Amino acid sequence: MTALAAPPKSPPPKLAGRESAEANRRRVTRVAYALLAPTIIVMLIIVAYPIVQSVIQSFNSDASGIDPKTGLFRAGGFVGLQNYTNWLFQQCQIGGVTQACPPGSPQAGFYNSVFVTFFFAIVTVALETVFGIWMAFIMNRNFRGRGILRAAVLVPWAIPTAVTAKLWYFIFDPSGVLNTVLNINVLWLSDLWASRFAIIIADTWKTTPFMALLILAGLQLIPEETYEAARMDGSSAVQTFFRITLPLLKPALVVAILFRTLDALRMYDLPAILTGGGGGGGQGTQTLSILVVKQIQQSNDSASALSTITFLLIFAVAFLFIRLLGANLTGNERKARRVAKEA
Amino acid sequence: MTTVAGPAVETAERPVTNEYSIGRARARRRKQGAAALRTGIQAAIIVVWCLLPFYWMVVIGFRDSSYTFDPNPLPIHLTFANYISAFDTANGNYLGLALLNSFGICTVVTIVALVVGISASYCLARLNFPGKGLIMGFILGASMFPGVALLTPLFAMFSQLGWSGQYQVLIIPYIAGALPLTVYTLNSFFREMPWDLEEAARIDGCTPAQAFRIVILPLAAPAVFTTAILAFIASWNEYLLVSVLGNTQIQTVTYAIAQFTGSIPHVQPYTTIMAAGTIVTIPLIILVLVFQRRIVAGLTAGGVKG
């Protein structure tokens, strides 16, 4: 806001033709960058600089020991791609010799974490999409009590993930309400697959409403006349859904799925608190983010390499999404203009 | 989305009323009754599914801890003791401090993110200049960046500055986290503003800054307010950064909840945790229910998760 006081005095409205247009454009650009400067500076310091720093670090090795002055690991010099190959080929440097990592070391858990991360992302997003579409359809209908439904749906979204995790931790307790009511004896938080599904259940509960709201916004853009026309032409409910609703819903759906997928691939809070990444042999629910945080406590550089790998994986998924499904994230100019013209 | 509207309208003419269609109308009404019932049942299932775990948390928060595992869903064995022990610091839980910290941090973060974000989103929505797409892409990309990748370098940076364990260690990354959300949401609101009014103000002799302040800002107030709520909730819910960069002094509510311990080692004081969870959640639930419409509008306009 402070930048707003700065814009230069506007020139007298009409100079001569092209020169004034050119000057005007330059002035607009100057104002624009002045207004953007604070945002860009914050993002550069807190996001761009650490990313660069992290990538640089990932090519370095830790010297043994911690610098007593800064409390940080001492830099051990450039090692090229070693940190990366350590993760990808599960190698460790033991006594200066590169060899296969012993089981239980973080490197040995890499592919497990990749699997867990993608498994969670695919299953939760799939469930959330299906349930989200269902919820959105119900919310889109006219009936008494719709207000209650719409308010209720916001409750899981509003609860902080940390609280959600503790709440489900209690529900999933071996003597908790779920086992008691269903009269079963599942170790939800320590059994391999049970703990994975515990996280999927909790995440689906928490995030489906958000998905449903995004889908609902897309549904409301479909004009009622389209459905009437389909009905007149004798289209069945199933046909209407697959031939009309789904294609018209696609733009909203793709954006919703993309956001959720990228979010799910970063999943940290829920498994970190609910299972501590454990389950099964101890790493059953260890997502890549949890692995990074664990690794930070051992070696910064190796953790940097792992977080860079994580970022590249997420970036690749986002790229594929936008390429294959044509997600329109920025709500681009052309569409806006077309809508404006039709209005 | 827009391609369908045209021809569909013409085919939707109502047929002429005659006896046959009256009979059909009656049948349709019966069918509609059944459909309404089906809708009602499904809606009820969704409401129960969404509210039941939350209800359980509130009920257990008020329950005597000797009945922690009693599956009776009714509010029985009521007590306030959990709410008192939730604020008890004897076991190393500092919920009161965490609440104060969270309120302070989130308020500062929201205000700064808005002030910085308004100017950025105004010019992204309103002005045409070279590099606009690139900057929008940079801001969006930053919001998708995995937070863990920032942890190590941020930790190192703050240690070198001697900031470890001070509030700015959380406030500054939180601002950076809230900014993309703020810019993105405000940008999509700003794009639909009546900008003709701004031009009219300019013609009447306002400077650009005046036109923005006097004409546009009041109109944008609801959008700004909505964005503020979303930014506040997002910061309130953050856990990853505080779990690594935080400590007892600067802990936020999510940190406090995750670390909550009881007097007996390895035994979770569930009833107290549920009470603490309720305390932490209630401000958000109130915000969400009071400003329900706006929050939904903001969420779907920005499409960014809070």
In order, the DSSP letters of B216-236 are: IHHHHHHHHHHHHHHHHHHHH
* Residue A3: per-residue pLDDT: 42
Taking CA atoms, A230 is separated from A139, A217, A238, A252, B121, in Å, by: 21, 21, 11, 21, 41
- A153 and A213 Cβ atoms separated by less than 8 Å: yes
Which of A163, A164, A259, A290 to substitute to test the interface with B, most B CBs within 10 Å? Answer: A163
Nearest by CB to B159, from A47, A71, A173: name it: A71
Nearest by CB to B183, from A39, A214, A265: name it: A39
Interval B163-197: pLDDT, tens: 888 898 899 889 988 898 898 888 888 887 777 88
* Residue A328: per-residue pLDDT: 57
DSSP helix/strand/coil, A142? coil
Q: Does B130 touch chain A (CB under 8 A)?
A: yes
Q: Chain B partners of A256 at a C-beta cutoff of 8 Å?
A: 303
* Residue A17: per-residue pLDDT: 60
Confidence check: pLDDT of B25 > 50? yes
C-alpha span between A148 and A145 (Å, rounded): 5
Going by pLDDT thresholds of 50, 70 and 90, the confidence category of residue B4 is very low
Q: Which position has the higher pLDDT, A118 or B151?
A: A118
Contact B138 A43 (CB under 8 A): yes
Q: Per DSSP, what are the bridge partners of residue A60? A: A78
- A188 and A275 Cβ atoms separated by less than 8 Å: no
The distance from CA A57 to its chain's CA centroid, rounded to whole angstroms, is 24
Rounded mean pLDDT of B269-286? 91
Domain positions in chain B are 87-300
* Residue B134: per-residue pLDDT: 85
C-alpha span between A281 and A288 (Å, rounded): 17
Q: Does A184 touch chain B (CB under 8 A)?
A: no
C-alpha span between B125 and A91 (Å, rounded): 50
Q: Does B184 touch chain A (CB under 8 A)?
A: no
Interval B287-302: pLDDT, tens: 888 888 888 888 877 5
Q: Does B148 touch chain A (CB under 8 A)?
A: yes
C-alpha span between B51 and B202 (Å, rounded): 51
Q: Measured between CA atoms, how close is A177 to chain B, in angstroms?
A: 5
The DSSP 8-state label assigned to residue A109 in this structure reads G
Q: Pick out chain A residues at pLDDT < 70.
A: 1-19, 62-76, 94-97, 104, 326-343
Say which amino acid occupies A189: L
Interval B70-107: pLDDT, tens: 888 888 888 888 898 888 888 788 899 999 999 999 99
- Cβ neighbors of A307 (< 8 A, separation 6 or more) are A54, A58, A292, B146, B148, B149, B151, B152
C-alpha span between A52 and B84 (Å, rounded): 47
* Residue A336: per-residue pLDDT: 43
The DSSP 8-state label assigned to residue A45 in this structure reads I
Q: Which position has the higher pLDDT, B3 or B86?
A: B86
Q: Does A44 touch chain B (CB under 8 A)?
A: no
The distance from CA A69 to its chain's CA centroid, rounded to whole angstroms, is 37
Annotation: CATH topology of A110-290: MetI-like fold (1.10.3720)
Contact B54 A318 (CB under 8 A): no
Domain positions in chain A are 110-290
B215-241: b or e for each residue (b if 16 or more CB lie within 10 Å)? bbeeebeebbebbbbbbbbbbbbbbbb
The distance from CA A229 to its chain's CA centroid, rounded to whole angstroms, is 38
The distance from CA A10 to its chain's CA centroid, rounded to whole angstroms, is 43
Nearest by CB to A4, from B150, B164, B209: name it: B209
For B249, the token pair is: 């002094």
* Residue B54: per-residue pLDDT: 93
- B275 and B162 Cβ atoms separated by less than 8 Å: no
Confidence check: pLDDT of B278 > 80? yes
Q: Chain A partners of B244 at a C-beta cutoff of 8 Å?
A: 293, 296
* Residue A227: per-residue pLDDT: 85
Q: How many residues does chain B have?
A: 306
* Residue B166: per-residue pLDDT: 86
Nearest CA in chain A to B158: A70
For A250, the token pair is: 């696609």
User: CA-CA-CA-CA torsion for A323, A329, A330, A331, nearest 10 degrees?
Assistant: 100
Contact B305 A263 (CB under 8 A): yes
A65: left (phi over 0), alpha (psi -120 to 50) or beta: left
Say which amino acid occupies B103: F
Q: Chain B partners of A9 at a C-beta cutoff of 8 Å?
A: 207
Q: Chain A partners of B288 at a C-beta cutoff of 8 Å?
A: 154-155, 157-158
C-alpha span between A232 and A342 (Å, rounded): 26
Q: Chain B partners of A143 at a C-beta cutoff of 8 Å?
A: 36, 39-40, 43
- A155 and B54 Cβ atoms separated by less than 8 Å: yes
Q: Does A201 touch chain B (CB under 8 A)?
A: no
Nearest by CB to B50, from A155, A171, A289: name it: A155
Q: Chain A partners of B135 at a C-beta cutoff of 8 Å?
A: 36, 40
Confidence check: pLDDT of B37 > 90? no
Contact B115 A268 (CB under 8 A): no
Quickly list DSSP for B82-126: HHHHHT--TTS--HHHHHHHHHHHHHHHHHHHHHHHHHHHHHHHH
Contact A138 B39 (CB under 8 A): yes
- B235 and B110 Cβ atoms separated by less than 8 Å: yes
* Residue A197: per-residue pLDDT: 92
Interval B189-242: pLDDT, tens: 888 777 788 888 888 888 878 887 888 888 888 889 889 998 999 899 999 989
Nearest by CB to A303, from B2, B145, B152: name it: B152
Say which amino acid occupies B88: D
Q: Chain A partners of B209 at a C-beta cutoff of 8 Å?
A: 4-5, 7
CATH architecture of B87-300: Orthogonal Bundle (1.10)
Contact A10 B207 (CB under 8 A): yes
For A269, the token pair is: 């809070």
Q: Does A70 touch chain B (CB under 8 A)?
A: yes
C-alpha span between B279 and B53 (Å, rounded): 15
Going by pLDDT thresholds of 50, 70 and 90, the confidence category of residue B9 is very low
For A184, the token pair is: 């079963």
Rounded mean pLDDT of B24-51? 84
The DSSP 8-state label assigned to residue A4 in this structure reads G
pLDDT above 90 as % of chain B:
23
Interval A138-165: pLDDT, tens: 998 888 888 889 889 999 999 999 999 9
Nearest by CB to B46, from A135, A163, A168: name it: A135
Q: Which residues between 252 and 291 in chain A have a beta carbon less than 8 angstroms from any beta carbon of chain B? A: 255-256, 259-260, 262-263, 265-266, 268-269, 272-273, 288-289
